Amino acid sequence: MQELSSLISTEDLYLFNTGQLFRAYRTFGAHAMEYQNQQGVRFVVWAPHAREVAVVGDFNSWTDDVAKLKLERFGTTGVWCGFAPGLSEGAKYKFELLNEQGQRFLKTDPFSFQSELRPKTASIVTRLDQHNWKDQSWMDWKSQHPPYEQPMLVYEVHLGSWRIYGPEQYRTYAQLADELVDYVKEMGYTHIELMPITEHPLDQSWGYQVTGYYGATSRYGHPQGLKLLIDRCHQEGIGVLLDWVPGHFCKDDHGLRLFDGTPLYEDSDSRRAEKPLWGTLTFDFAKPEVQSFLLSSALFWLDVYHIDGLRVDAVASMIDLHFDKPQSMKTYNRYGGTEHIEALNFLRKLNETVFQYYPFTLMMAEDSSSYPAVTQPTYLGGLGFNYKWNMGWMNDMLRYMEIDPSERSSHHSLITFSLLYAFSENYILPLSHDEVVHGKRSLLHKMPGSYEEKFANLRLFYAYWMTHPGKKLLFMGGEFGQFDEWKDFTELDWSVLQYPMHSNMQRYVKDLNHVYLRNEVLWSQDHVHQGFEWIDVNNAEQCILSFQRTGKQLDSTLVTVCNFSRNTHPIYRIGVPIDGTYRLLMNSDDAQYGGSGIHFVSEVQADSIPIHGKSFSIEVPVPALSVQLWKKE
């Protein structure tokens, strides 16, 4: 014990065992260091029910009983520790554990910073302190500009299919630091959201079934390349968000499942542990050591990789004990309810911990439930996130847009209902990968009508989405109207850009993005009702909606006019809140975007003719399946 105390801190182990070691990755795992005047690697692992723990690897032929490094148990902490002199960065290793039944098995390091490229599974000793960051200006700017009053246009990306050379021939992180960042900046996005890049064994899981909560996947190169990618984003003023999956983990033998021969990271009650829909296991959120493991993982990506925010996956599945459970697997909390109390407490602790160290981080809940106060502070009884995905808006709008325009008048509430709750949480309006896979069809393909009408509907949808309160997220490929749904095994259908309608769509989305960025009325008051007002919400018969967005200055107004029908109105009068000149910012029916090209004047003067409860009004043409944005000069 005396010798071990000089290798690891007893205070760290106490904090780990009590769920308070928030940077456990500095203690656990494999760390190159000097010990007793020798260079080598320190190994630390939590395995309280193991009888023996050793380190095997390419340095001792994996199975050589004489040469393998046997670890020592640190008292009653359940932690094992040892030092391998002469070992250095790049060594491949696993933990060999002997369970109570006398069985030996190999496990990868839960705290591994890098792993072999699948299908191999060994952990790799890796240093992560060698990148010279050049993003201090971004960090300073971020600390002075809270996200609520800033534009947020997120481009969701799967690195294995954005652009590739061929099957399993991926762009590296370093290559994407040029190609992807240049594209995102040109298109006007403010953030990139990376679908999970934590290490995972199966490509088709898209990273949502994790084995390495501290390891950047080797599919795209060395972890240093990921730092280069993120650093370049920050230098270009682009934030980076990471899909993070604390709700469940995969069952692969080399991973966390039955880590020391017993349910260690997962709940010991199989009814709570199993997620039958996904074939995965739920973390035991009540266990202090599991809390230390997960909280440290969250801070790790912020500390080491300068990630700007975490999109916490599948929150609804975490907080509901009955989520996707057959009757035989249903359990109840101590009050007889179905809320997963330990998971709810973990999420509150997660957000409190992250904001304690990084107050300006984006913590976003991907939550399809109706659980209240997700984005309220924990001291007010909320879960403490600062954003929630608005799944209700997304489902209603996609359902509405799939309806043929001739039948939309009887479904008008689908596009208006969201404003009844739009300010109850801080929302992101997501058009994510989940909506364009598994036979759901691409966004363009969902649209009804002829070839031209499909594009017109999508342009209409995008402009309504852009002017609706809430931050925005679009999955890659949506910006140029990919016709096929997303295929994770090949790259996006970039070839369709040779066709005018697709290239016009890309130009339209780019211009729409930049209109959004330049006009603070579209984002400075996203979360308060003062930033939005209906002008005409009741014209279901003609399927026409009009509303205004208002900025922090009272005379800062933008009027949106949406026509969801096939009928064109050469003259249409709309109430406006202020007298003066209104300038056309955007017309989705413009010929340059593939529209009909109906002539529009660039500006109109308000008349003193009351309508729609307003003292003034303007007359404008309203083409079929179109949106116009008019800004008060």
Whether 267 is catalytic is no
Report which residue type is found at 80. Answer: W
272/569 Cα distance (integer angstroms): 58
Angle, CA 307 vertex, CA 490 and CA 473 arms, to 5°: 55
Whether omega before 151 lies within 30 degrees of 0, making that bond cis, reads no
105/256 Cα distance (integer angstroms): 12
Report which residue type is found at 428. Answer: I
CB atoms within 10 A of CB 186: 10
Whether 100 is catalytic is no
Q: Which runs of E-coded beta strand occur in 397-462?
A: 427-431
CA neighbor of 284 nearest in space, from 352, 343, 367: 343
CA neighbor of 477 nearest in space, from 459, 491, 460: 491
Kindly list the distances between the CA atom of residue 437 and the CA atoms of 108, 187, 440, 510, 584, in Å, as whole numbers in the listed order: 32, 24, 5, 24, 36
Query: Could you tell me which residues come within 8 angstroms of residue 208 by beta carbon, excluding any fewer than 6 positions away?
Result: 196, 200, 243, 245, 278, 313, 314
567/406 Cα distance (integer angstroms): 9
504/481 Cα distance (integer angstroms): 9
What b/e readout covers 486-500, taking b as 16+ CB neighbours within 10 angstroms? beeeebbbeebeeee
154/239 Cα distance (integer angstroms): 9
80/61 Cα distance (integer angstroms): 22
CB 171 within 8 A of CB 165: yes
Identify the active-site residue in 12, 199, 274, 366: 366
Identify the active-site residue in 267, 284, 313, 589: 313
Tell me how far apart the terminal alpha carbons of the chain are, to the nearest angstrom: 75
35/497 Cα distance (integer angstroms): 59
DSSP for 518-543, please give it. H-GGGTTTTTSGGGEEEEE---TTTT
Catalytic residue numbers, as ranges: 313, 366
